[in-house]
Amino acid sequence: MCPKCGSQRVKVTPAGNYVCTSCGYSWPMPTAELGWAHRIFLVEKLYEEFKDAKPLDCAKLKEEIIRKGATAQEASRIARRIARRNMKLTNNKKEKDALREALESC
């Protein structure tokens, strides 16, 4: 519906704008802000890239993740997630204890 005249006769231009066929008024299509989705995708991508990091040095891992474009908070979340994953995958008590310490320092 045209915001100027109220007509229902509206077309979409190839440029992505609405145009009223009655009065000729043109207005842009509303756009969605999807920055949050890009951040979530980046976090998942970085997790997949670093999930097999061993031995786990939390500080170095966070530095590397930040260098790839994550924020400090996101890097900490990814490092903790990797430590928890590695704890579940190992049966070695010594490794689990080292990972638990790394998790606490992250």
In a shared domain, residues 87 and 68: yes
Residue 55 DSSP class: S
In a shared domain, residues 39 and 20: no
Residue whose C-alpha is closest to residue 11's, from 25, 21, 24, 3 = 21
In a shared domain, residues 70 and 93: yes
Which tens digit of pLDDT belongs to each residue from 24-79? 999 998 877 778 888 999 999 999 999 988 767 888 999 999 999 999 999 999 99
Which tokens is 93 given?
A: 């008590």
Extract long-range pairs of 61-69: CB within 8 Å, 24+ residues apart: 62/106, 69/42
**Domain span at residue 42?**
35-105
Helices (H), the chain: 35-50, 58-67, 72-89, 93-105
The domain total for the chain is: 2
Residue whose C-alpha is closest to residue 75's, from 53, 46, 36, 34 = 46
pTM exceeding the 0.75 threshold for the entire prediction: no
Residue whose C-alpha is closest to residue 82's, from 60, 59, 99, 95 = 99
In a shared domain, residues 22 and 51: no
pLDDT given at position 11: 94
In a shared domain, residues 41 and 88: yes
Q: How confident is the model at residue 5 (pLDDT cuts 50, 70, 90)?
A: very high
